[in-house]
Amino acid sequence: ARSDRDMEQVSGAEVIAQALKTQHVEYMFGVVGIPVIEIAVAAQKMGIRYVGMRNEQAACYAASAIGYLTGRPGVCLVVSGPGLIHALGGMANANMNCWPVVVIGGSSERSQETMGAFQEFPQAVRSSIYGRPGACYVDIPADFVNLEVNVNSIKFMERCLPPPVSMAETSAVCAAASVIRNAKKPLLIIGKGAAYAHAEEHLRRLVEQCKLPFLPTPMGKGVIPDNHPNCVAAARSRALQFADVIVLFGARLNWILHFGLPPRYQPDVKFIQVDICAEELGNNVKPAVTLLGDINAVTKQELASQKSLPMNYYTVFYHVQEQLPRDCFVVSEGANTMDIGRTVLQNYLPRHRLDAGTFGTMGVGLGFAIAAAVMAKDRSPGQRVICVEGDSAFGFSGMEVETICRYNLPIILLVVNNNGIYQGFDADSWEEMLKSGDATAVAPPACLLPNSHYEQVMTAFGGKGYFVQTPEELRKSLSESLADTTKPSLINIMIEPQATRKPQDFHWLTRSNM
């Protein structure tokens, strides 16, 4: 015996409505007429909200905005012919905005052979939200709308999954991290692609962790609040004009951003593009790095890679400055170490800074530090001496560590170690180089032995030694050293061997702890 269910007939309109519901489409905007009126009625019955508009263009604008706001396409329901023509403006706008929308139009009747067109629904929803989002159109022949079929003859496609999330190539992520770190005036541009990607949480972390200034595009506004201290919207033109590295997160270099060209930008500005659409990469400019992938995923990758990168001078001095007692003596020598250290480390008292001086002498540091510590012991017990040494500079008088230990002077020696004079090699490059010949033949004269454990010079004589590679380790070892007033300590701080100085002259933001 056949059940009632077997006898049940459904119309094409109901099938369409059910298919949309199955695809988790929640909103429909349109202007109804023959033959699509039944579709609107069926959709409403199915629990899809229907908003009747006065012109298909506005309906399509509305449906595409729903797509942007919710990530699932809105439907724009139109009649064929003029209805569809009117919707074209909205479709073009949605496509240009990269916003998903499904336009359904009714056309004249056709024979039943093309009934497979029903299967187009899931396809349409998926293609509107996968890859670069955009508009798609489904045409429903009029006779399909009212055709009655047996319920059991219909199979709805399962709801398509959210778009797959793609990540950028690891080497590109590292390259981008390095370009950003070495930027003098970096700028993030946050576009509506970042908004669509829901990247707000990770972008804010990136901005704050790396102290990066950012500029929202008109619809990128609010991804990170406009009142965030790193927002440079008030100085938009200047920010664009003087940036030396610009990272585009879901923003295209079109007219809104002056095509990325001079005079609105530096001629040699380095662009890093993050976009889900490969065709967009390299449009108008030759980018320094391209990151093809989902903005949220790529931002997470970028955050992870920034964390694992070695420190540079600014990171080191930023963390040192945070903890230095205001009345401490700062002794310093080295090339970059002394130059950059001077700009970041603050002095509050006269005669409390001693460095390589007029003669630019290397090797004075430990002698000066011992003098200050001996004097402090007599006249101002508890006052600390911090001696900030480059690894090369430390070598000139490193054996005075024995003197420091012998007299138990609680000096804190910081060796900012880049494996060389000015710049050095990392351990891998050093090993690689040795394969090509004897070190005396092939080693650059400025290189020192990579990863030398200078802290062991201190432990050799009973002081405290630390080998640090991360800001956390640096903070911890420095606070321990400052807390212990009875013992000298040496903190050997590994930094990026190729780290160099960069002027801290951002007029819009001082970026100090990357």
Nearer to Mg ion, 211 or 252 (CB): 252
With DSSP H G I counted as helix, E B as strand and the rest as coil, what are the percentages for the chain, rounded to 5? 45, 20, 40
To the nearest whole angstrom, how small is the minimum distance from the Cβ of residue 279 to ligand ADP?
A: 9
Q: Is 173 in the site for ligand ADP (CB under 6 A)?
A: no
Interface residue with ligand ADP among 16, 129, 135, 219 (CB under 6 A) is 219
> Which secondary structure element, helix H or strand E, spans residue 140, and what is its range?
strand 135-141
Phi first, then psi, for residue 474 (nearest 5°) are: -65, -50
Cα–Cα distance for residue pair 331/346, rounded to 1 Å? 12
Interface residue with ligand ADP among 12, 30, 90, 193 (CB under 6 A) is 193
Nearer to ligand ADP, 138 or 248 (CB): 248
To the nearest whole angstrom, how small is the minimum distance from the Cβ of residue 254 to Mg ion?
A: 5
Tell me how crowded residue 81 is: count the other CB atoms within 10 A of its CB.
13
* Cα→Cα distances 366→119, 348, 387, 486, 490, Å: 80, 22, 7, 18, 12
Question: Do 90 and 96 meet the contact criterion of CB atoms below 8 Å apart?
Answer: no
Site string for ligand ADP, 254-283 (x = CB under 6 A): x-x------------------xxx--x---
**Which residue, judged by CB position, is nearest to ligand ADP in the bound state?**
193
How many residues contact Mg ion, by CB under 5 A? 3
Which amino acid is it at 146?
A: N
Site string for ligand ADP, 70-109 (x = CB under 6 A): ---------------------------xx-----------
Q: Is 192 in the site for ligand ADP (CB under 6 A)?
A: yes
To the nearest whole angstrom, how small is the minimum distance from the Cβ of residue 225 to ligand ADP?
A: 16
> 197-216: which residues touch ligand ADP (CB under 6 A)?
197
Interface residue with ligand ADP among 182, 217, 418, 481 (CB under 6 A) is 217
3-state secondary structure of 141: strand
Site string for ligand ADP, 118-137 (x = CB under 6 A): --------------x-----
Cα–Cα distance for residue pair 474/466, rounded to 1 Å? 9
3-state secondary structure of 314: helix
> 239-298: which residues touch Mg ion (CB under 5 A)?
251-252, 256
Q: What is the secondary structure of 13-78 as a DSSP string?
A: HHHHHHHHHHTT--EEEE---TTTHHHHHHHHHTT-EEEE-SSHHHHHHHHHHHHHHHSS-EEEEE
Nearer to Mg ion, 216 or 488 (CB): 216
Interface segment toward ligand ADP; rule CB under 6 A; list 5-13, 248-256, 319-327, 350-358: 248-256
Place of tokens 């610009």: 246
The binding site for ligand ADP (CB under 6 A) comprises 97-98, 132, 191-193, 196-197, 217, 219-220, 250-252, 254, 256, 275-277, 280, 294-295
